[in-house]
């Protein structure tokens, strides 16, 4: 398996990573735990060193699964997880308040069974919280040794630039496939300029009927704590 470094960071990962969400979330009932643990370990034996999860997957259960499955490979694999979405009343709600980020980090560390999170993404931009405050909070977690690298998921170019100015961003994760090429327009050139790695999710395509580029509904990001919903490509307004 080829290895790559994400951007200008020293974070080296396998060229192909394994997204673990579907093992316990998003695509029907959770799969059999022993079978998924076997799958995770087979992936490592096949050369995969990059694994992706999030606290909202399950919620929480996917992190526990990944932590258990990869426990024998500590120091040999990179685990990325995410903060910034929580469940309220059965709905996904954006919440990247500093106190919530810190709480999420402690929970992820415990469930994954690690001393530090290798790559910690903001799952979705929270329009109620300035990105500088988010980046500053993660910077503090890095200084405390609880997080190694900072990432963003589905963030617009200006949001990336603002975050990167506070705490260097190691990687941006966004949907990218033959069906969804929008990152090529502005995001990829900006990441190349800034020296930030790009991690595509659903590279083989991720669409359901009626959910195509330019559509709304099921394609929209989780609703913020208050106010109107926003689509994944929009930039939240910057308050003064």
Catalytic positions, please?
A: 57
Instruction: State how far the Cα of 230 lies from the Cα of 170, in Å rounded to an integer.
Output: 25
Distances from the Cα of 67 to the Cαs of 24, 34, 63, 147, in angstroms? Answer: 13, 13, 6, 16
Phi and psi torsions of 151, nearest 5°: -135, 165
Phi and psi torsions of 234, nearest 5°: -85, 150
- The C-alpha angle 113, 115, 121, rounded to 5 degrees, equals 85
Contacts of 234 (CB under 8 A, 6+ apart): 156
């Amino acid at each position: 398996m080829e290895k790559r470094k994400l951007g200008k960071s020293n974070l080296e990962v396998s060229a192909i990573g394994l997204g673990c969400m579907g093992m316990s979330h998003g695509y029907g009932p959770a799969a059999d735990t022993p079978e998924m643990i076997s799958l995770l370990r087979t992936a490592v034996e096949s050369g995969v060193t990059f694994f992706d999860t999030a606290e909202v997957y399950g919620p929480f259960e996917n992190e526990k699964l990944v932590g258990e499955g990869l426990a024998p490979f500590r120091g040999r694999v990179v685990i990325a997880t995410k903060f910034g979405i929580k469940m309220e009343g059965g709905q996904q709600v954006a919440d990247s308040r500093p106190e919530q980020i810190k709480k999420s980090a402690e929970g992820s560390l415990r469930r994954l069974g690690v001393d530090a999170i290798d790559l910690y993404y903001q799952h979705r931009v929270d329009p109620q919280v300035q990105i500088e405050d988010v980046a500053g909070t993660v910077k503090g977690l890095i200084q405390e040794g609880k997080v190694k690298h900072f990432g963003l998921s589905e963030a617009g170019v200006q949001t990336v630039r603002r975050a990167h100015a506070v705490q260097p961003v190691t990687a941006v994760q966004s949907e990218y496939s033959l069906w969804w090429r929008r990152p090529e327009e502005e995001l990829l050139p900006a990441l190349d300029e800034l020296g930030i790695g790009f991690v595509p999710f659903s590279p083989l395509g991720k669409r359901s009927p009626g959910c195509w580029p330019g559509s709304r509904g099921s394609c929209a990001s989780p609703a913020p704590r208050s106010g109107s919903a926003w689509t994944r490509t929009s930039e939240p307004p910057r308050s003064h």
